[in-house]
Structure 1
Amino acid sequence: MAENSSLFQLSDNLSVLSDDSKPPDTGLGRYFSNTTHTIFDEIVPSANQEAIQKPSVSASPRPAFDSFLTCTPANNFHDDSILENSEQVSDHVTASDVHRDAWIPSDQTRKVLASIATSTPGSNFPDRENLTMPGLTLQGDLTDAIKEASIHFLGEDENIHRNVLTVSDVTQDERGLRNLIQAGCYRAAINLTGRLLGIYGQGFGKINYPSKHTPHSLQLWFTRLALLAKLKHVEVLENESKPFGNLDKPDMFFTFYPELYGTKPGSMACFAFRLLLAEIPAYCNKPKLALDNLYKVLATVRQIVKNLKMGLGEDGGRDGGHLKFTTTERDDAIRLWIGRQSRVLISIVNCALTLKNYILAVDILEALSENNDWSLEQKQILKSAIGRVLLLLGDVSAAEKQFAVGKDVSTARELTDRGLMAVAQNAFQEAYSCFKKASTLEPANIMLINNMAVCLLYNGQLQAAVHLLESAVIRNPSKGLQEALLLNICTLYELHTTHSMQPKLHLLRQLNRYKGDAIGVQCLKLTL
């Protein structure tokens, strides 16, 4: 049920330190990041990071520990934003658009772009095979499932208490899109992206119809696909992402539109969009294909780093290379792309975990940990991540060496590591004590409360486990009402009593009053 939150929190921290974009929040944030400073930069501001939690629904018949189930791409590594400042300094502040937008096109795409650059404006008409022609496959708007379930089970009167934003309540622009996402109204946000993309001639039924692209339209697509991934609308996600391929068509580059951008080099699509497209097959139960895609992205990134270190431009050319870049600019560019390289490697770790290839995951994390540029805290995060993957592998002794947990345990991470070690040794009372101590240091950490409840369950204290989870929801509904926790508590209700319907309906009432439209009501295990 509750997926590998603890392990994944650590790993996405690595993503933060390595990525070129804004710090990921909880899966969504990483995709709402931008490689250039645009109107979307604050789409998920860091102040709201804790408010957006990952959905985590499984068919598992029993509650589970956060960090012990298999990773699924839609529930990717989480982030505590501890590396936010250093990450932003390394990209947004120092790296120029020239470096952030850079990419190496294929030979065929390079030839088409060169032909356009040497032709009289308006005289070059590329073949359809050289065009990216996306469109919506979803006709109409997504509905608010929480509202529908509340009316069905609780009656029309309950709808009075439903006070969430809809697509019609916000401005029909990027500001409205930001407001919807910040409010946790992801379905409404998807609806708004559909309306805005329709302005570009890329609405419903427009797949395979030529249309012009801009950084703005591509950012809308990036946001839409990230939302679809977050909500696990797999079929729509797969169909709407296909036209983009690997973002290598000529019309994905600025030089395809000389009348608009002149000779400006680089890709109009941000790097995070490129990474998302590479990962999408894993959301669609095709992790091996995603792994292949990610290694292709990694190969290009490594070539870019190599070119920069040789004094060339990112694409290997001298025009715009060392003749124009200062030493400081080049050093910044190298740091940027080495960071992106680490980010791709973390995505590969995610895929490896999905495939249960724990050896590959450990190998990559160990290679990352050998980088001398990490701070002490970052190195500790890496070691902890390695230890937790080793626990998934079942190698308790090797994990213990990575954790290196001594007598003086002072941080929540160290206490969590000790707790996970105790779980692996079936010492649930000791694990409970560790998670409880960690929870006093991080009282808002729902993952720790969930783990405490599962420890109580395995110690035969079912009623205490139910009470603990219920208290987390009552104490802070906006944070406690998460799919992982709701699924676990509803499972405990079913174990606790044959009359589980009423407490489930109470949770539905809480969802209706306190949450947006992003949570899937199936986590309440109600039969519609």
Structure 2
Amino acid sequence: MEPEPAASDPKPQAPPSSKEMDDYCEDMSSLEELANRGAWRSIIDKVSRARALSLLQKPHDHLTYLAFNALAFTKLRRFNEASAELDSLEDLQSIHYRYETYPKIYPNRVGSMVPFSLRWLHALIPIKLGQRQQGMDRFYTLLDFVRRKIGEKEHDHALAASLSLWRKREVFVVNCIIGHHLSQKEFGVCLSFMKELLSRSSDPLLVSQLGYMQLQVGDLEGAKVSFLKVESEGKSNGSLSEVEFRNLVNRNKALVYLVGKDYVSAVREYEECIERDSSDVVAVNNKALCLMYLRDLSDSIKVLESALERVPTLALNETLVVNLCSMYELAYVNHSDIKRTLSSWIARVAPDDFDASCTRT
């Protein structure tokens, strides 16, 4: 490592080359690639370097890099640092974050330059910091914002692609709201939201979600009706492939069997899913649990270990690993050694945001 120059002897820093500018500012694909790989620490380093070298020249550059930085901190569960990033912003509706405020930089461009991900993080972070009411208020404000956007675009056929995007965002925000209400067992509001969405769409994923909620409130017959609707109406109203749709149908059937404790039939449904798509991690995980309930610990462990070997980037999630470690504890006297081996493997292959504490080593 080279020694730093003395404070009394500052050395001038060469201006960044055009290649550096391209690497850090103009080409967002590098940040997106890091995000897709789960390299969140590298994103934080990249943003820090871009800021230190004053590479962020345009207003939207600052917002985009801030969004990636805040998301990286959130993924790493460094919520206070994510909050500090967001606190550096003005009101997200500020004129300073609109393209028309800078006509020389963005000629003929109007509208907000705030990334949607920043608006989502603005609502999420307070909840992560224990300020649930503030976060929920912000999520409802975000939902109003999204629905206003939908209203603006609904009657303009030239904006069909944009309208589709904002409708997907509406479903995403509603699902976030539903998730937080479900965590508090506030089932009534969740069912109301879902039925409102389904009044405008019969997407099989949404209908299936309604069925899952009905199971949680003990409405088995209602869930069966929802799942039957998914199967009878087909995949035409959603964006699923044929394999994804057929696996959804099998998983729905398996859930009904699970509620009835018919684990053998549930395993059969999950096996059909895995035969069709070996990367269906939900089916893999649930098949292993069913085998455990059938007191076949050896096979349940094999199912999860095989998935981790076969598709580590997909199968490596905290829920699956927690279940595997629980099975190790039930099956083996020397489970601590086995879990340490698993932890070592995870450390080599897991993305930065994987919670290694789930192995309980």
Compute the TM-score of the two structures, normalised by the length of structure 2.
0.78
Distance 1:260 1:274 in 2: 23
**Hey, what does 1:435 align to over in structure 2?**
270
Given that 1:253 and 1:268 are in contact with CA atoms closer than 8 Å, whether structure 2 keeps it comes out as yes
Asked if 1:385 corresponds to 2:213, the answer is no
Q: Deviations over 1:427-473 (max 9, x none)?
A: 22222222222221221112211111111112222222222212222
Distance 1:295 1:201 in 2: 36
Deviation of 1:388 (Å):
0.7
Deviation of 1:247 (Å):
0.9
Q: Deviations over 1:314-349 (max 9, x none)?
A: xxxxxxxxxxxxx54356665554554444333322
Q: Secondary structure at the match of 1:260?
A: coil
Asked if 1:283 corresponds to 2:118, the answer is no
Identify unmatched segments of 5+ residues in structure 1: 1-170, 203-211, 312-326
Distance 1:403 1:223 in 2: 38
**Hey, what does 2:260 align to over in structure 1?**
425
Distance 2:231 2:95 in 1: 59
Distance 2:157 2:229 in 1: 40
For residue 350 of structure 1, the aligned residue among 179, 196, 200 is 179
Relative contact order, higher structure (CA 8 A, sep 6+): 1
Distance 1:307 1:177 in 2: 31
Asked if 1:261 corresponds to 2:106, the answer is yes
Distance 1:307 1:449 in 2: 43
Asked if 1:507 corresponds to 2:331, the answer is no
Taking a change above 3 Å as real, the CA distance of residues 379 and 307 of structure 1, as seen in their structure-2 partners, is closer
**Aligned counterparts, 1:157-306, within 5 A:** 174-200=28-54, 214-244=59-89, 246-261=91-106, 264-306=109-151
Distance 1:477 1:356 in 2: 33
Compute the TM-score of the two structures, normalised by the length of structure 1.
0.55
Given that 2:39 and 2:352 are in contact with CA atoms closer than 8 Å, whether structure 1 keeps it comes out as yes
Deviation of 1:412 (Å):
1.0
Of 416-425 and 479-488, the range deviating more from structure 2: 479-488
Given that 2:187 and 2:213 are in contact with CA atoms closer than 8 Å, whether structure 1 keeps it comes out as yes
Given that 1:508 and 1:524 are in contact with CA atoms closer than 8 Å, whether structure 2 keeps it comes out as yes
For residue 279 of structure 2, the aligned residue among 420, 444, 450 is 444
Letter in 1 for 2:174: L
Letter in 2 for 1:365: M
Deviation of 1:415 (Å):
1.0
% identical equivalent positions: 22
**Hey, what does 1:494 align to over in structure 2?**
329
How many residues in Structure 1 have an aligned counterpart in Structure 2?
326
Distance 1:432 1:512 in 2: 31
Distance 1:512 1:339 in 2: 35
Deviation of 1:186 (Å):
2.0
Deviation of 1:264 (Å):
3.9
Identify unmatched segments of 5+ residues in structure 2: 1-22, 235-244
**Hey, what does 1:12 align to over in structure 2?**
none
Q: Secondary structure at the match of 1:220?
A: helix
Distance 1:220 1:188 in 2: 13
Distance 2:314 2:219 in 1: 34
Q: Secondary structure at the match of 1:285?
A: coil
Q: Deviations over 1:283-304 (max 9, x none)?
A: 3333432221122223234344
Deviation of 1:387 (Å):
0.2
**Aligned counterparts, 1:349-368, within 5 A:** 349-368=178-197
